[in-house]
Amino acid sequence: MDTTGQQQAGPEPVDVEVNVIPVELYKVLKFEGLVGSGAEAKSVVADGMVLVNGAVETQKRKKIMADDVIEFAGQRLRIVFTGGEA
């Protein structure tokens, strides 16, 4: 907590550019190298180890949209859509 009594957020999120929206949560973890495989990604999500926009997410195929923030293993990722129309 900071001196105002509010909980501090983790590190600034790293922007992850995607050209297709939505993208499934487990795929972001896998393609960004936070886990070794798709199966591992699905496992950590199912075990409640991943946050999406500050809330625990257990849906492996959760549809992630632009500006969503994913947190896992001390990493924060912000999804940035770089394609055409969503």
CATH code (residue 72): 3.10.290.10
Cα of 18 vs its chain's centroid, Å: 12
Question: Which residue range is the domain that position 68 belongs to?
Answer: 14-81
Q: What is the pLDDT of residue 2?
A: 46
**Model confidence at 67: pLDDT above 90:** yes
5 located within any domain: no
How many structural domains does the chain have?
Answer: 1
Q: What is the pLDDT of residue 47?
A: 98
What percentage of the chain reaches a pLDDT higher than 90?
Answer: 83
Q: What is the pLDDT of residue 85?
A: 60
Q: What is the pLDDT of residue 4?
A: 47
Contact 57, 50 (CB under 8 A): yes
3 located within any domain: no
**Model confidence at 6: pLDDT above 90:** no
86 located within any domain: no
Name the more confident of 84 and 23.
23
70 located within any domain: yes
Contact 64, 81 (CB under 8 A): no
1 located within any domain: no
74 located within any domain: yes
Q: Which amino acid is at 66?
A: A
Q: What is the pLDDT of residue 11?
A: 80
